[in-house]
Copies of this chain bind each other. A is one copy, B any other.
């Protein structure tokens, strides 16, 4: 079990966590709250553009941790797969302009074909984007998604699968984003995290909580402490495996988005110290 976090120096927020706020609001409010890192969702760049967004965030003393999200590689048609690869190259360019060292990949899944084919297309898609990412100095992180998203969001459902793809492509620019929401149920999680540490692929760590009952598959995540995920234990595994990066709070919740976001930000910080 990791010792509690005693300050916000490793706290990173995903802009999607406070979805009602503009990027400018996120920058000012996060900085005022002592948050040090920010992961930017691409929708938050609309209007501003990535370079100005990066400047704005740095002007507020924030470190840009990553850009969310690339991926969605599988498609039944070759044209569809090429479009996805092009889009991922654009995403890498945006990350470079933003000053984000990492793009998180939600790998995708095509319902009209077998999962195994989608998984192959994901590996091919990442392989096609990696040279562009390396040239731009931007790393890519496969985020294994909870198996409840296997049909439409990610055919990569486990750390084991993500790690197999990393070993196959063997690039220092490719690693894994470990999200407790997606992986907490997996009895192999501790060992997989340790293996990632040995292989140098632990690129990011995301936290939120699993609520019971969960009333929506997409937008009913919990604030840390509202659910049953052993977040601090998993953080301990990640840190024993050598990870020293930000602890990123990524919560999609219609319930929490409907509350006062300033109070919510204070609650996030308290929950981070108490439970992450």
Contacts and interface: CB of A to CB of B under 8 A. Distances in A.
A227 interface: yes
Interface in A99-127: 111-112, 114-116, 119
Interface string A169-199: 0000000000000001111000000000000
Given A147-B147, A157-B185, 20 more contacts: A111-B212, A111-B228, A112-B228, A115-B184, A116-B187, A146-B148, A147-B148, A147-B185, A147-B186, A148-B214, A148-B217, A150-B184, A151-B212, A151-B227, A152-B212, A152-B213, A157-B186, A160-B187, A161-B187, A217-B217
Contacts of A210: 151
A147 B217 CA distance: 12
Q: How many copies does the complex hold?
A: 2
A137 interface: no
A189 B146 CA distance: 16
A245 interface: no
Given A115-B185, A213-B217, A228 B151 contact: yes
Contacts of A185: 115, 147, 150, 157
Contacts of A146: 147-148
Interface string A144-171: 0011101110000110110000000000
Contacts of A184: 115, 150
Contact of A119 (B114, B158, B187): B187
A178 to B, nearest CB: 16
A150 B22 CA distance: 35
Q: Which of A157, A185, A213, A230 has most chain B Cβ within 10 Å?
A: A185
A62 B111 CA distance: 36
